[in-house]
Amino acid sequence: MEVSSAGGAFVIAVAVAGTVGNALTIAALLLRMRREHSGNASSVFIVSLSAADLCFCSLNLPFAASSLLQGAWTHGPLLCRLVAAGRYLNVGVSLLSITAIAVNRYVLVVRPSLYGRLYGRAGIWWMVAATWLAPCFLLAPTLAGVWGRFGPDPRSPGCSVVASGGRSPKAFLFVAAFLVPCLAIVYCYAAIFRHARKARLQVEAHGEAARRRRDEWRITRMVLVIFLSFLACYLPITIVKVRPARSLSEKLSHVN
């Protein structure tokens, strides 16, 4: 009980800090974009990332804290489905937003000739829409109960994706919505830093161009830190959740 109470209190603290922090980030970026009368791709993607994290902290974490404190899900089956779907959606949007920023950095540094064609105003907003619609598309069969379903998690007091009729989309979701974006991010950053080593002398340039380059590298490093933090937080629990759950009787029979 003490562990559940401590866990619930920690989740509440994260929810409050995350809600305030992401709200301030969105406000600051929107004010900057309005002041400068421009919305570059990185700023737009970071606003989208912060919006997904804001939804996660303000709408999902309170239910997670409640489940930990009470030791069970007590909010009914409909909210169980919606909260679980919302969590997967927000995590998916967050990771795809980080991927979009990594690809943006890659094109800017490694393929600058393509940047103007890919990152016009319309192109940027289509990419943002894709980061939100792709997780919705992937989760739709589970939300409809066609391929697995959202329900009480047998491993925890919360709700998650569970098998239905012996079928579960967890392995597919892990590959399509987690592994593929992570590999894309790793590739982009490997290419960026390889290119940076070859062009190291350019860092010594002075003036406005050098300042812009330093700002771009600061954003690149910041997003890399965000990705590594995301990976550290979600990779262990993602691997655990992908493994099929076994009932208590199955575990006992395995031991015997």
For residue 34, give the 3-state DSSP assignment: helix
**SS3 breakdown of the chain: % helix, strand, coil, rounded to 5?**
80, 5, 15
Helices 2-36, 41-55: crossing angle, 10 deg rounding: 150
Q: Which of 131, 144, 130 is nearest to 85 (CA)?
A: 144
pLDDT at 201 over 80: no
11: amino acid identity, one letter: V
d(Cα 86, Cα 143) in Å, to the nearest integer? 10
50-62 confidence digits (pLDDT tens): 999 999 999 999 9
Nearest Cα to Cα of residue 94 among 166, 182, 11: 182
Query: Which residues have CB under 8 Å from 52's CB, separation 6+?
Result: 90, 93, 94, 97
| Residue 213: pLDDT band with limits 50, 70, 90 | low
CATH number of 2-245: 1.20.1070.10
Tokens of 162: 């569970």
pLDDT value at 146 more than 50: yes
Q: Are 154 and 240 in contact (CB under 8 A)?
A: no
CA 194 from chain center: how many Å?
A: 26
Other beta carbons less than 10 A from residue 236's beta carbon: 10
Instruction: Supply angle C-alpha 152, 155, 159, rounded to 5.
Output: 25
* pLDDT value of residue 253: 41
What's the average model confidence in pLDDT over 56-74? 93
* CA–CA distance, 212 with 28 (Å, rounded to integer): 19
Round to whole Å and give the CA distance between 138 and 157: 25
Q: Considering the entire predicted model, what is its pTM?
A: 0.84
Residues 6+ apart with CB under 8 A from 197: none
pLDDT digits (tens, 9 = 90+) for 149-167: 999 988 888 899 999 888 8
Q: Which residues contact 73 (CB under 8 A, 6 or more apart)?
A: 67, 80, 152, 157, 158, 159
- Where are the chain's structural domains? 2-245
Cα–Cα distance for residue pair 38/131, rounded to 1 Å:
21
Q: Which of 246, 254, 78 is nearest to 162 (CA)?
A: 246
Structural element, H or E, at residue 161: strand 159-162
Bridge partners, 149 (sequence order): 162
pLDDT for res 211: 61
In this prediction, residues 137-154 reach a mean pLDDT of 94
- How many whole angstroms separate alpha carbon 83 and alpha carbon 55? 11
